[in-house]
Structure 1
Amino acid sequence: MSKKYNRLDKDNAVVLLVDHQAGLISLVRDFTPDEFKNNVLALADIAAFFKLPTILTTSFENGPNGPMVPELKAKFPDAPYIARPGQINAWDNSDFVAAVKATGRKQIIIAGVVTDVCVAFPTLAALEEGFDVFVVTDASGTFNPLVRESALSRMVEAGAQLMNWFAVGCELQRDWRNDIEGFGAILGGHLPAYANLMQSYSQNSK
């Protein structure tokens, strides 16, 4: 039985960046450090480009998990920043949930560290409350591919959709003609091969 295509809508989506903290990121082993950082910052650039409400949260940042990576705080200086004092599941923090619901948006784009806990737990809780959840797999990291696949399987079975940051951007963009230079600059900034395409395009369009 076919299901309705529930595509991302820039007017109905909110981005949740969960526990991208200096300490926790050191645990990520299913991506190389440079690759993972690039993916996370690409998602952040997409959120900013489409002016999506973005919520940042950390877990026990005064402990071993460490502070949120500075690039994200700098990218979203006015975004809600929820420093959870101890809750492992961000959805157990009332301030975080209130910030999500205050946006009035029903589509959640989520990424975080680690995938099996910091992403999976709030994803499952949000799905239970009726949100549509889109997990950005390449901007979420964990200990190894086996752990990642187990976590993704659990979320999919509960109703989450899996996407990478490139697909998120393209689905929000909808049509290249909306802003090829602006959107293309994001892609080119994070995908070297796409930078070559944009350079070719710029030269041929003169």
Structure 2
Amino acid sequence: MRATKPFERLNINDTVLLVVDHQVGLFDLARDFDPQLFYRNAIAHAALGKLFDIPEILDLYPDVPIIKRPGEINAWDNAEFREAVKATGRSQFIVGGIVTDVCVTFLSLSLREEGYSVWANVEASGTTSTLIRDVSNSRMQAAGVHLAGLFSIAADLFRDWRNPPGAEKMSEWYAKYAPAYLVTAQLFNAAKGNSTS
């Protein structure tokens, strides 16, 4: 039996990372996660850009070029943000932000409306309650937004332990941000050393 929708994979050469409103003043609104876990997930989301050398458009994120929105709630309503997205020439976007029901959902739906493919990083998006998170994720999914977690996104971008950035760099990322999956990387490296992979 064929799936009703084809499996769309992230293409590292066609992907952009979006970080929306991950800022100190809004972190308190992310109550659907353990605060320390959510903070780590937000940092891990941003770290995907460096790890895979994919462009990042970070909105209100410290220590990087900032696209300020003087009042627009939906980042897509800001002309500078829209132009930055369009200037990438890419068609796939990974979105993480605060709050899921507003900043992430509005932007994701706007990108879908423009014909882009969108992956909402559910582990790097937080809101005020699990109810609001679930309703927002359902709304995005109904519009064709892919809902995915950190490990899924990283694995889709990586695809093969022999690909850049390499098993060693991936192991470092897992150790820092996704320790539950570190054993997978360690087993691969051990098998590779034994010529069993």
TM-score normalised by L of structure 1: 0.85
The yes-or-no answer on 1:93 pairing with 2:78 is yes
The answer to whether the Cα contact below 8 Å between 1:188 and 1:196 also exists between their aligned partners in 2 is: no
Structure 1 equivalent of residue 176 of structure 2: 189
Change (3 A) 1:55 1:150: same
* Segments of 4+ moved more than 2 angstroms: 191-206
Aligned residues: 189
Extract unaligned runs of 5+ from structure 1.
59-67
Residue 123 of structure 2 aligns to a residue in which SS?
helix
AA at the equivalent of 1:27: L
CA distance in 2, matches of 1:182, 1:88: 36
Q: Which amino acid aligns with 2:92?
A: Q
- What residue identity is the alignment partner of 2:135? S
Unaligned 5+ segments in structure 2 are none
Task: State which of 6, 23, 36 in structure 2 corresponds to 1:21.
Answer: 23
Q: Does 1:164 align with 2:149?
A: yes
- Quick check: 1:29–1:143 contact (8 Å CA) kept in 2? yes
Native 8 Å contact 1:112 1:118 kept in 2: yes
Q: What SS does the aligned partner of 1:162 have?
A: strand
Sequence identity of aligned pairs in percent?
44
Separation (CA, whole Å) in 1 of partners of 2:10 and 2:185: 25
Please provide the CA RMSD for this pair: 1.8
Deviation at 1:197, TM superposition (A): 5.3
**Alignment counterpart, residue 103 of structure 2, candidates 95, 112, 118:** 118
- Determine if contact 1:188/1:198 at 8 Å carries over to the other structure: no
Structure 1's 159 and 201: CA in aligned 2 closer, same or farther, altered over 3 A? closer
Does the CA contact (< 8 Å) of 2:174 and 2:181 recur in 1? yes
CA contact (8 A) 2:167 2:185 kept: no
Give CA-to-partner distance per residue, 1:105-153, whole Å, 9 cap, x none.
Answer: 0001101000000000111111111000110001000001000001011
Q: 1:32 corresponds to which residue?
A: 34
Distance 2:8 2:184 in 1: 30
Verify the 8 A CA contact 2:20 2:97 in the aligned structure 1.
yes
TM-score by length of 2: 0.89
Identify the residue that residue 94 of structure 2 maps to in structure 1.
Answer: 109
Distance in 1 (CA, whole Å) between partners of 2:119 and 2:188 is 31
Residue of structure 2 in register with 1:84 after alignment: 69
In 1, the alpha carbon distance for the partners of 2:182 and 2:5 equals 35
TM superposition shift of 1:194: 3.6
Which residue of structure 2 lines up, in the alignment, with residue 149 of structure 1? 134
Q: CA deviation at 1:199?
A: 5.5
1:49 partner amino acid: L
Taking the aligned partners of 1:52 and 1:99, their CA distance within structure 2 comes to 14
- Given that 2:167 and 2:189 are in contact with CA atoms closer than 8 Å, whether structure 1 keeps it comes out as no
In structure 2, the residue matched to 1:10 is 12
- 1:64 corresponds in structure 2 to none
Give, in whole Å, the separation in 2 of the partners of 1:119 and 1:140.
7
The alpha-carbon deviation at position 46 of structure 1 amounts to: 1.6
